[in-house]
Structure formats: structure tokens, C-alpha cells
């Protein structure tokens, strides 16, 4: 089930910080901008998990800015991103 941040209150958790999610592009860009500003590589970047009002992980953002449904631990190659900031190839 695809969740629309414009209709459901979602929070991005990055390290110990909590940030409201207004849209998938917004959370993707904010995460990428933060890790770039801090000069973090993929192995040092903190997780970015998106939780709903009940504290359940509904999505996560990968280092490249893609937003994926569910928890990172549930990822598999057949899952497609909810949002992909990368140009089509």
C-alpha cells in the first residue's frame, strides 16, 4: 500500500533527529543534502527511516536518495522505489 505523506503524518528519523515528512521528494533531498554537508560516505551515513503515527517503519531512504517502501531489513531486489530522484536511464 502506497502512503501519501500529504494525507498521513509521517516522521523521518535520522540518527537521533526527527523531522516531519511533507513529500517523498522533500525527504529524499533533505537526507542527501544532510549527508553531503556532513561529508559522509555510504558506510557512515545514518539510517533514514520514515515512521507513521504508530511508530511503524513505513519507508526508508537509501544513500542515493531513493525512497523505498517498508523497513530496510525487508528490502529485496524485486521491490521498486516509491520515489527515485535519479534520471531515467
pLDDT at 88: 63
Mean pLDDT by 10 residues, the chain (89 residues): 75 92 94 92 94 93 96 92 84
pLDDT at 67: 96
Residue with cell 525512497: 67
pLDDT at 15: 86
Instruction: Find out whether 18 and 11 touch, Cβ atoms under 8 Å.
Output: yes
**Cell numbers standing for residue 87:** 534520471
CA distance 21 to 76: 24
Q: What is the value of pTM for the model shown?
A: 0.87
Amino acid at each position: 500500500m502506497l502512503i501519501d505523506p500529504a494525507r498521513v503524518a509521517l516522521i523521518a528519523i535520522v540518527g537521533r533527529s526527527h523531522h516531519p515528512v511533507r513529500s517523498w521528494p522533500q525527504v529524499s533531498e533533505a537526507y542527501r543534502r544532510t549527508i553531503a554537508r556532513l561529508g559522509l560516505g555510504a558506510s557512515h551515513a545514518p539510517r533514514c527511516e520514515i515512521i507513521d503515527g504508530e511508530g511503524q517503519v513505513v519507508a526508508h531512504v537509501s544513500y542515493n536518495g531513493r525512497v523505498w517502501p517498508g523497513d530496510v531489513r525487508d528490502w529485496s531486489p524485486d521491490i521498486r522505489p516509491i520515489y527515485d530522484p535519479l534520471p531515467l536511464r
